[in-house]
Structure 1
Amino acid sequence: MGAALTVAALAGCSVVIDRRADLREAEAEARYPPTGQLIEVDGRIVHADVQGSGPDLVLLHGASGNTRDFTFSFVDRLKDDYRVIAFDRPGLGWTERDARYGPWSPRAESPREQARLLQAASDRLGVQSPLVLGHSYGGAVALAWGLERPEETAGLIVVSGASNPWPGGLGPLYRVMGSSWGGALLAPLITALGPEGQVDDALAGIFAPDPVPPGYARHIGAGLTLRRESFRANARQVNTLRPHVVEMSQHYPTLTMPVEIVHGTEDDTVPIDIHSEPLARQIPGANLTRLQSVGHMPHHAAPDAVEAAIHRAATRAGLRR
C-alpha cells in the first residue's frame, strides 16, 4: 500500500512539473517569436534572420544562445556592408533537432552535422561563397562549415571559438544532462522550477570580466534555451563536442581560405591558450587577434575588433576593397 502511494505521489508530481514546464515554454515562445524566416530542410525547420545587402555573411551563435545574441546590436553594425544571415543552430531558438535525438538519447548533432543542415538552409536562401563567423560552440560549427565546403567558403571568422580538445571534464550538470536519464528527468525540473535570477547570474559569468550590456537579458530570450528540448540539445551538444574537435583538428591544416581568429585573453569559458592559440598555428595564414582584458563575448565587449576582423577576411577573400 505504501509503495503504491509513493508511486501515485511521484506520478502526481510529474504531472504538476510537466504542466508548469508547458506553461513556461508557452510563455517564452509567445514572448520571443521567430524574428526571421522558417525554412524547411528535409522535413526540419531552420530559423534564419536575414538582414542587409552585400557579400553573404553567416553568423553562428554559441552554446545556450540563438540568433538574438547577434540581433541585439551586432547585426546593425554589419548590415550596410553585408547580407547577414544569422541561423539558430539545431535544437536552439527556432531550429528543430534531428528526430533521432530524443529525450532518452545521450547523442547530439555533431558540428559537421549542424554545418550540413545550415548549409542546406543557406542554399535555399541563395547564399553564395559566404564568410562564416562562429562564436564559442558556433566556432566549431564554422570550422566544420569550412571543412565541409572548402571551395565554397570565402573565409572564416572564429570568435572565442571552441576548436581544440581540452583537459578535464565539463562539470556535473553537463555529465548529468548528457546521460539518458538525466536529460529526460532533470530538464523538466529546470524548465518548470528554475529561478529567473539564475539567468542573470549565468549571463554575468559568461560576460565576465565585462559587464552584461543593458537590455541584453531581456532581448536574448533565455526562456527559449530553458525549454526542455533546447536544454537537452544544448547540454548534449556541449557534452559530446570534444571527440568531434579532436577529429576536426587533424584537418585544420587543409583550410586554405582566409581565417581570422578573435579571442579575449580573460576568457575563462573557452580559454585562448587551449583553443585559439593552437588554432592559429594549425591553419596556414590564420591571423589571431588577442583582445587584452576581454572575456568570452568580444562581439559585445569589443565589437569594433570583431567587425574589423570580418572586414579583413572579406578583403583577403576579394569581397571588399
Structure 2
Amino acid sequence: MIGWAALGLATGGVAVTEVRAARRERAAGAAFPPEGEMLDVDGRRVHVVVRGCGPDLVLIHGASGNARDMTMGLVDRLTDRYRVTVFDRPRLGYTDRARPGLDRVWSREGETPQEQAMLLLAAARQLGLRQPIVMGHSLGGAVALAWALADPEGISAVVDVSGVSMPWPGTLDRIYRINGSIAGGALLPPLLAAFAPQRAADMALAAIFDPDPVPPDYASRIGVGLTLRRGSIRANARQVVCLRVAVLEMSRHYASLSMPVEIVHGEADIIVPPTIHSVPLSRLVPSANLVLLPGVGHMPHHSRPEAVVAAIDRACVRATLRG
C-alpha cells in the first residue's frame, strides 16, 4: 500500500510539473513571439530576422540566447549600411533542431557547431545572401568559424565576439553536465521550466555580464522564458557538451582561413576567457586582427557595442580591399 501511495505521489508530482512547465512555455511564446519570418530549409523550420540594406551581414547569438540578443540593440546600429540577417540557432528561439531525433528526451546528442553552420548556411543561400560577413558571439562564434571553414569562398569575412574557438582545460559547469546527461537532461529541465524563479534568472544574467552591469531592460526584452523551455534547456546543454571536441577538430584547420577575421574579446571575460580562446585563435589565423577590451566581460555587444560595430566595419573594409 505504501509503495503504491508513493508511486501515486511521484506520478502526480511529475504531472503537475509538466503541466506547469507547459503553461509557462505558452506564456513565454505569447510574450515573445517570432520577430521575423520562418523559412523551410529541407523540412527544418529556421527563424530569421532581416533588416536594413547594404552588404550582407549575418549575426549569430550565443548559448542560452536567441535572435533578440542581437535585435534589441546591435542591429539598429548597423541597418543604415548593411542588410542584417539574424538567425535563431537550433532549438533556441524558434528554429528547429538541425536534424530529426535530436529532441528526444532520453538522449545526450546535440548539434555540433558544424551542423548548426550548415543549417544556417542553407538558410542564407535560400535568402539569397551574397558573400556575407558572418559575426558570432560566444558559442555563436564557434558556429561562425565552422561556417567559414565549411564555405571559405562563400563568405567575405568573420567577426568573432567573445567566441568559443579552442579546447579548454577542466570541466564544464555542473548545470551543463547534468542537463547534458541522459538522465539529468530528462529530469531536470521540466523542473527548471516549471519552477525556476525570476531571481535565479537575474543571478544568471548578472554572472554572464560580470563585471559589466546588465542593461536595465535586458531581461524584459530578451525573452528569458524562451530559454527556460524544456526543449531549449536540453538543446543548449547538449550543444555545449559536444562543443569541446568540435572546436578541437576545428582548431586544426584555422590556419587555412584566408578571409579577414576580426576578433573582439573582453579581457575580464571569465565565461569564455580570451587567453584560452581568442588569443590562441589570433595566432593560428594568418588574417586575424585581435582587439582586447580592458575591464570588459562576456557581452561586449551590449557593454561596448561601438567596439563590435567598429570590428564589423573593419571586416567590411578589409573584405572590399581584398576584392
Tell me the TM-score normalised to structure 2 length. Answer: 0.98
Give the CA deviation at 1:42: 1.4
Residue matched to 1:148: 150
Give the CA deviation at 1:223: 0.2
Secondary structure at the residue paired with 1:214?
coil
- Contact preservation (8 Å) 2:62, 2:136: yes
Secondary structure at the residue paired with 2:320?
coil
Equivalent residue runs for 1:57-76 within 5 Å: 57-76=57-76
- Contact preservation (8 Å) 1:311, 1:320: no
Secondary structure at the residue paired with 1:40?
strand
Residue matched to 1:314: 316
Secondary structure at the residue paired with 1:49?
strand
- Contact preservation (8 Å) 1:314, 1:320: no
Deviations 1:38-63 (A, max 9, x none): 00111111000100000000000000
Residue number among 297, 302, 308 corresponding to 1:300 in the alignment: 302
Residue number among 175, 184, 187 corresponding to 1:173 in the alignment: 175
Residue matched to 2:280: 278
Give the CA deviation at 1:319: 7.5
Residue matched to 1:241: 243
Matched AA of 1:178: G
Give the CA deviation at 1:320: 11
CA distance in 1, matches of 2:312, 2:321: 11
Residue matched to 1:96: 96
* Closer, same or farther: CA 242–267 of 1 in aligned 2, 3 Å: same
Matched AA of 1:63: A
Secondary structure at the residue paired with 1:150?
coil
**Aligned length, in residue pairs:** 321
Residue matched to 1:43: 43
Give the CA deviation at 1:174: 1.1
Residue matched to 2:85: 85
Residue matched to 1:133: 135
- Contact preservation (8 Å) 1:37, 1:49: yes
- Contact preservation (8 Å) 1:55, 1:319: no
Give the CA deviation at 1:14: 0.6
CA distance in 2, matches of 1:132, 1:77: 16
* Closer, same or farther: CA 319–24 of 1 in aligned 2, 3 Å: farther
Cα RMSD over matched residues?
1.2
1:255 aligned onto 2:252: no
Q: Structure 1: give runs of 5+ residues left out of the alignment.
A: none
- Contact preservation (8 Å) 1:63, 1:136: yes
Deviations 1:121-156 (A, max 9, x none): 111111111000000000000000000100111000
Matched AA of 2:245: P
Secondary structure at the residue paired with 1:263?
strand
Secondary structure at the residue paired with 2:290?
strand
Give the CA deviation at 1:193: 0.6
CA distance in 2, matches of 1:164, 1:220: 28
- Contact preservation (8 Å) 2:157, 2:315: yes
Deviations 1:294-313 (A, max 9, x none): 00011111111111100110
Residue matched to 1:15: 15
1:266 aligned onto 2:268: yes
Tell me the TM-score normalised to structure 1 length. Answer: 0.98
Matched AA of 1:19: V
CA distance in 1, matches of 2:111, 2:7: 35
Equivalent residue runs for 1:189-268 within 5 Å: 189-268=191-270
Matched AA of 1:9: L
Matched AA of 1:94: Y
Secondary structure at the residue paired with 2:134?
strand
- Contact preservation (8 Å) 2:257, 2:287: no
* Closer, same or farther: CA 226–319 of 1 in aligned 2, 3 Å: farther
Matched AA of 1:208: D
Give the CA deviation at 1:285: 2.0
The share of aligned pairs that are identical, in percent, is 57
Secondary structure at the residue paired with 1:261?
strand
Matched AA of 2:119: L
CA distance in 2, matches of 1:104, 1:248: 28
Secondary structure at the residue paired with 1:186?
helix
Matched AA of 1:125: L
* Closer, same or farther: CA 249–151 of 1 in aligned 2, 3 Å: same
Give the CA deviation at 1:99: 2.4
Q: Structure 2: give runs of 5+ residues left out of the alignment.
A: none
- Contact preservation (8 Å) 1:56, 1:129: yes
